[in-house]
Structure 1
Amino acid sequence: MKKILLLCFAFYSFQTIAQDFMPPLIDWSGKSESLQVAENHPWVTPSELDDLTTSPDYEETVNWLRKLTDSSPLVEMKSLGKSEQGRDIWMLIASDDSNFDPAKIREQDKAVLLFHGGIHAGEIDGKDAGMMLFRDILHGEKKHLLDQATLLFIPILNVDGHERRSEYGRVNQRGPREMGWRSNAQNLNLNRDFTKLETAGVRAVVEVINAYDPDLYVDVHVTDGADYQYDITYGYVKTGGYSPAISAFLSDKIQPEVDQALSDWGHIPGPLLFAANGQDFSEGNVAFSFSPRFSHTYGDARHLPSILIENHSLKPFRQRVLGTYVFLEQAIKTIGEHYQEIRDAVAADQNQPKDELIVKFGFRESPADTMEFLGIASEKVKSDITGREFIQWKGEPIIQQVPSLLMDRPVQEVSTPEAYFVPAEWTVVIKKLRQHGLKMETLETSTELELEFDFLTEYQLSPNPLEGKIRFQSFETKQITRRVKLAPGSVKIPVDQNLGELASIFLEAESVDSFFQWGYFMSILSQTEYMETYIMEPMIQQLLKEDAALRAEFEQAKAANPDWVNSPRSIYRWFYERTPYFDQNWKVIPIGKLR
């Protein structure tokens, strides 16, 4: 009890705010400052009342949005379900003809933009930018944007994390004054959940994607990490993905037009930035191959044009929000003007051959090229506390030439089958496949089939959990073919469908984000039946007497493993595995493949 009290006292006496120790700030002003309205404007947002230095809590946000919705027939406010703590996850739909029905929106000959803020609730720029943008569409001079696209806006995705807000919410970020928490109420990171769908927020997003079929999906974040001049950085799967036609469209159309708009309005756009050495960019910028557990990579895998915005955490909240507004406005214009090109790109990627699938990428052996990098000067300083060097940013703009390190080299691929079969008893996996929108056939009667399965020959579990799951650190498999009887309720998932790549990503064991690697089949590692030695001993005697081939194999095993002979348990086990009494399902990953 004394230790707990002392710990609490230490927290209560902690009056220092991390922002007092931020790197020097470069002064900024830009044309986008004109997007703010005055405090006496009838539709001023709560954030603008504080000059975009604060962000409203959940209740104030919802009340303002409900009032906005009630003021116009062009917008509807819809609950996507409840969070883990029981809060509504709200979405706004804006349509120029007051059309809010998902089926009708899918059928209309017009682009659809889906964007959300607060998947990491402290990174809330998208919420406040979206509120300002919707205000200007409904009560300003930008109603024409609805001629270009129908808008789907989820202001706060991680609503529970949003309410775990304080001045200590995000230590590496320059505002707003109070910030929410990165993970949800169950301490799960929503932007690691796009394959396993264990959080209410991400399930809601996937349901929206399935229902409305958007043409562009934008996930608004804020970075951590190094200092640089760029304020609005963003990215998408350029290479090493599953949608090359979409990647080309994003590169050729979206990026140039968005970059130009941001520059025109006084911002400095840049690519996603990850320092190769984890500190500064002297050794290059890394373009990672993210797996489909992340929002934009999941979008790429299901052939949905998807962009990840990472506003720079060391820039003020006001600057980041205004830049996000500019980004979203231009994105609406661009997808409206190039709508048919988007649909053509999506169709091309959906119709790709699906015989092979790359499930793992690695770095190229040498840098792809160099980029002109708008950096900030830094120096290495020796710590008086640890004795080690650390990076100290000096607030002085510099221009560098840095290598671009691309992680798009295929490392491992699998040959995909004609179809996958998931037995009826694996209900959780079947449910998740349905939630993702995969087409499947449910078997109505008991069905016998000869299928291929993966059998685990070696495995090692990770010593540490990830997102509440124990994953595999390493494993090896071999393919086996067996005739199985599938119970009614089992499902057949053909690979030849628009989301065929997703089926393989989820169901091929080697895929980084397969349901196997996420631990949904852990029970196959357990054995529940066994044989007593008083049965094994006379049975072995009989088998050795009658089966010359078994007798020869046993002698070879003893010669190859001298120590093994001294282990009665190992000998009994060796024989047991060669009897029909041994568990034939042990270590067999229960996903059947029809070749």
Structure 2
Amino acid sequence: MLSILLSALLLTSAPKDDWRTPFEKGNGNTTATYAECIAYYQKLDAAYPEIQLRAVGPTDSGQPLHEVIVSLDGQFEPTAPTGRRRPVVLVQNGIHPGEPEGIDASMALVRDYVQKKELRRQLENVTLVVIPIYNVDGALNRNSTTRVNQDGPESYGFRGNARNLDLNRDYVKQDSRNARSFAELFRRWQPDVFVDTHTSNGADYQYFMTLIATQKDKLAPAVSEYLTQRLLPALNTGMEKRKSPLTPYVDFEGRTPDARGLVGFLETPRYSTGYTTLFNTIGFVTETHMLKSYTPRVQATYDFLDVLLRFVHQDATALTQARALATQKLSEQKTFPLSWKLDTTAAEKVNFRGYTGRTKPSEVSEQLRLYYDRKAPFTRPINYYNTFRPTTTVTRPQAYLIPQAWGEVLDRLRTAGVPLQRLTRDTTLTAEVYYINDYKTSPRPYEGHYLHNSVTVRSTQQALPYHRGDYVARLDNATARFLIETLEPQATDSYFAWGFFDSILQQKEHFSDYVFEDVAADLLRRDPALREQLEKQKQQDPALAKSGAAQLEWVYRHSKYYEPTHLRYPVARWQGGLLPVE
């Protein structure tokens, strides 16, 4: 039998109560409901002073988001980052409640870590924080059919939350109450390591679990080196010893994983580990394999969390030193990447344990279809492409100037812990201002937004009026990278990309052509240089030369009548020294 199924018989200091989890009481193919999960943690909280369950904020379901803190000395509040003596590991479960292994594994793990002497030692210098179920909304919406590709459990929650949002696309935009509650929890704990538990879709292979580690090129160098040289090797070794070897997440571009190799996952800040990366937290997404039965998937998740905690306990000093160095270097960093591209010339080899992909006639279409032949397993080296290069970078401003009108954006900055100051008087400030030159917009909504991409900007120095109460967000603190990746419009997951500034894209005033014809003619008579510029443009652009309306529009846009705020991005970059702030 698997170890977590026997754990209730192996407890060294358990009370006489039945401490089996709902999963352990079942048939190996069931997962705890939301009510069962919270009730189990309430029972642990009541029995053990080392455990505290508490509600930390609302979710869209109307039920609270909970956190479970496991602390041997009863310290249930984080200390200041400079004073913290032990690292924090934050485990998040049930963001997709149809992928519930982490829910069941964490319940057993928390119990075992207080009841078993050998495991208790791992928390002597580590604080464990668990989010029992993040997508409470989806967990309450149980069914047995929506995970059609998955082998168990018998019933489970739904991927979308109460607003049908995928919460693993909501970390930066924070449309859900769940995401805003998470951001406040994350800000409070500032974890050193974050784990988001999942189940994968995709190819068939021999592994019980694949792993997404924070993309190494996106981490600060000190933390990236720690991840690749110390933490990942320890996790791979530890899971190999548990008979549950890891492989990088099986994302690939060929017909099968071995055709062209695996491709690293570039988690942008919309995703959990892309968001946590902005604060120098090492993130992992565990992806157990959908086609393995449920019990070994729960076991693999339990084993991963156990191996991780053991190593963080053992290596706490090196981990905290790496993060401290990253924080120091952040204050010195001058340029920041905003977008990335996979380097297809850089590959490492991974020894992949797969199944041979074959084809056979489809019983549905009679066309050839893919299947994986489990009677033909293989183990062989394949390419793994996991190096990304920056394609767009930006220099660090001293601060961003944000008019108070943009409340939705300001609310999200506050939730992330950005220190905001306010101007104490009306003033005119000369700052670097962007105009949106071009952008493309998705033709279909994605997570409630029409996303912008391929954004280009024109930069200019401009004197603008600011009012008492407008905001200043300085970049001399730990939120610098978060600010840059949300407020620079070219960034992949900027607030501009998510549509929070769309009103600037619409022109508010225009002209009647029959009236402006005479105005335009007078402008061209009075300004020969403007006439010459128009004629030159017509020579270069045949479409303009053939269109009277287009020429009239050209003159309007080059006149004093064209509104100066159209396409002007309202967040300005400040490099000018002291400001009149509170």
| TM-score exceeds 0.5 | yes
Please point out which of 241, 251, 254 is paired with 2:231.
254
Within 5 Å, give how 1:158-237 maps onto structure 2.
158-237=135-214
Q: Is 1:170–1:180's contact at 8 Å kept on the other side of the alignment?
A: no
Equivalent residues of 2:160, 2:166 under 8 A apart: yes
Is the aligned partner of 1:121 residue 2:101?
A: no
Query: How much has 1:488 moved relative to structure 2?
Result: 2.5
Residue 295 of structure 2 is aligned to residue 315 of structure 1: no
1:590 is paired with a residue whose SS is coil
CA distance 1:348–1:384, change in 2 (3 Å): same
4+ aligned runs moved over 6 Å, structure 1 = 38-41
Cα deviation code 1:342-393 (max 9, x no counterpart):
1221122223343211222222232512221111233122324334432212
Of 395-404 and 136-145, more deviation after overlay is shown by: 136-145
Q: 1:92 aligns to what?
A: 68
Amino acid corresponding to residue 91 of structure 2 in structure 1: F
Structure 1: segments with no counterpart, 5+ residues: 1-28
Match of 2:447 in 1: 467
Give the gaps of 5 or more residues in structure 2.
576-582
- Deviation string 1:409-437 (CA, Å, 9 cap, x unpaired) is 23222233232222211111111112112
Q: Which of 575, 580, 584 is the matching residue for 2:555?
A: 575
For 1:272 and 1:204, how far apart are their aligned partners in 2?
A: 28
Q: Any residues of structure 2 matched to 1:400-419 within 5 Å, and which?
A: 400-419=380-399
Q: Tell me which moved more, 249-258 or 98-107.
A: 98-107
Q: Which moved more, 1:256-265 or 1:461-470?
A: 256-265
Question: In structure 1, what is the Cα distance between the partners aligned to 2:467 and 2:170?
Answer: 30
| One-letter identity of the residue aligned with 1:181 | F
In structure 2, the residue matched to 1:509 is 489
| Aligned-partner Cα distance in 1 for 2:103–2:293 | 16
Preserved contact between residue 51 and residue 318 of structure 1 (Cα < 8 Å)? no
Pairing 1:182-581 to 2, within 5 Å after superposition: 182-277=159-254, 279-352=256-329, 353-396=332-375, 397-533=377-513, 535-560=515-540, 564=544, 567-581=547-561
Residues 59 and 181 in structure 2, CA contact (< 8 A), matched pair in contact too: no
Question: Contact between 1:127 and 1:156, CA under 8 Å: does it hold in 2?
Answer: yes
Q: Which amino acid aligns with 2:204?
A: D
Q: What CA distance in whole angstroms lies between the structure 2 residues aligned with 1:517 and 1:406?
A: 25
TM-score of the pair, normalised by structure 2: 0.91
2:111 aligned to 135, 140, 165, which one?
A: 135
- Which stretch of structure 1 is more off in the superposition, 393-402 or 426-435? 393-402
Kindly tell me: are residues 121 and 492 of structure 1, through their superposed partners in 2, closer, same or farther at Cα, counting changes over 3 Å?
same
Aligned partner of 1:20 in structure 2 is none
C-alpha contact 1:226 1:275 (8 A) present in aligned 2: no
Equivalent residue, structure 1, for 2:130? 153
Deviation at 1:33, TM superposition (A): 5.4
Distance change >3 Å, CA 301–CA 228, structure 1 → 2: same
Do the aligned partners of residues 496 and 104 (structure 1) sit closer, same or farther apart at CA in structure 2, a change above 3 Å counting?
Answer: closer
SS of aligned partner of 1:589: coil
Matched residues, number: 567
Amino acid at match of 2:305: L
Alignment deviations for residues 253-308 of structure 1 (CA, whole Å, 9 cap, x no partner): 32233333323333222222213325443221111222121111222221012211
Pair 1:31–1:154, CA change in 2 (3 A): closer
Give the partner amino acid of 2:126: A
Change (3 A) 1:256 1:571: closer
Distance 1:489 1:174 in 2: 56
SS in 1 for 2:280: coil
Letter in 1 for 2:93: G
Instruction: Give the conservation status (yes or no) of the 8 Å contact 1:240–1:410.
Output: no
**Amino acid across the alignment from 1:447:** T
Letter in 2 for 1:455: Y
- Computed over aligned residues only, the root mean square deviation of the Cα atoms, in angstroms, reads 2.4
